[in-house]
Every structure is written in structure tokens, then in C-alpha cells.
């Protein structure tokens, strides 16, 4: 597993060098980071951070917040996004707009999701996909609340 994560980090960092954005950002807290760029194409790591745009891997200890992310967003405690494509993992995953991909955590919440939610509690207003967990809620679904699994296509 460590080798796979190392390989993914290396690929994200080296593949992004050809782009004009920052390939590596080290964050302490909020916007305290080196460098203090708003766009990362590669790897963003830290304790807790807000980076408006990330394409690649965003991995933080406490929280990870972004407006637009494509790739993998991870934090031990909580993740926040607006637009998201990829894999989002944390204890609590919160999205205030659209997701295309997977949310995996204890509590997952999305306004609009195309994909999969896996967690103890899953909440979505609009969904095209599947929820797997103890309590699953799709506000605009044919059956709004289900145990174990819920889906809307």
C-alpha cells in the first residue's frame, strides 16, 4: 500500500511539471503554505489547508478544503469541496455543489452526486448512483430513506 501511494504521489508530482501551476505545496494551516499558490497540479500535503484548485492528490492530517478538485482528496477528520471529481476520503466528507466519483467516510454529504457514497450515514439531495451504508438518504429519490443501500438512476 505504501508503494502504491508513493508511486501515485510521484506520478502526480512529475506529470504536473509540464503545467503552469504548482507541482508541490506544503501547507501548515489554512493559507499558511509554501508556496502560497491557489492552484496545485500535483501534490498538496499538510496539517489543515484551503487550496482553491487542486488537480492531483490533496492529503492533510486534520482538514482539506477546496473549491475545485480533480483527483484524490483525503483528510483524517474532514474534507470540504464545491466541485469534485475523483475519490474523497475522510471521517466526514462535505460537498456544497457537485461530485462525480466516490465519497468514502463515516458521514458523507453531497448536494448533487454522480457515483458512489460508502459510509455509515450517506446524504444527497440529487443522485445518480448508489449509496451503501447504515442510513442512506436521497432527498429527490424514489425512496428517500433506506437502510444498507439506496440508489437512483
Q: What is the pLDDT of residues 63-92, one digit of tens each?
A: 999 999 999 999 999 999 999 999 999 999
pLDDT digits (tens, 9 = 90+) for 136-148: 999 999 999 999 9
Please tell me the least confidently modeled range out of 12-16, 25-29, 60-64. 12-16
Alpha carbons 91 and 85: distance in angstroms, whole number: 18
Which CA distances in Å does 131 have to 2, 52, 72, 125, 149? Answer: 28, 28, 19, 12, 5
Residues forming a β-bridge with 94: 80, 109
Count how many domains the chain has.
1
Q: How far is CA 118 from the centre of its chain?
A: 13
Q: Is residue 41 part of a domain?
A: yes
Q: What is the DSSP letter of 51?
A: -
Residue range of the domain that includes 85:
22-152
- The model carries a pTM of 0.85
**Is the Cα torsion angle 51, 54, 59, 62 positive or negative in sign?**
positive
Q: Is residue 80 part of a domain?
A: yes
CA nearest neighbour of 21 among 48, 51, 46: 51
Q: Is residue 137 part of a domain?
A: yes
Amino acid at each position: 500500500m505504501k508503494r502504491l501511494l508513493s508511486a501515485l504521489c510521484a506520478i502526480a508530482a512529475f506529470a504536473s511539471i509540464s503545467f503552469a501551476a504548482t507541482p508541490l505545496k506544503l501547507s501548515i494551516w489554512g493559507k499558511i503554505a509554501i508556496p502560497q499558490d491557489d492552484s496545485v497540479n500535483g501534490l498538496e500535503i499538510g496539517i489543515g489547508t484551503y487550496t482553491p484548485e487542486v488537480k492531483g492528490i490533496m492529503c492533510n492530517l486534520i482538514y482539506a478544503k477546496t473549491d475545485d478538485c480533480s483527483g484524490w482528496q483525503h483528510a483524517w477528520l474532514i474534507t470540504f469541496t464545491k466541485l469534485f471529481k475523483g475519490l474523497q476520503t475522510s471521517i466526514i466528507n462535505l460537498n456544497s455543489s457537485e461530485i462525480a466519483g466516490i465519497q468514502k467516510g463515516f458521514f458523507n454529504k453531497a448536494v448533487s452526486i454522480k457515483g458512489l457514497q460508502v459510509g455509515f450515514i450517506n446524504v444527497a439531495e440529487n443522485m445518480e448512483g448508489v449509496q451503501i451504508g447504515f442510513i442512506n438518504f436521497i432527498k429527490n429519490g424514489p425512496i428517500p430513506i433506506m437502510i444498507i443501500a439506496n440508489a437512483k438512476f
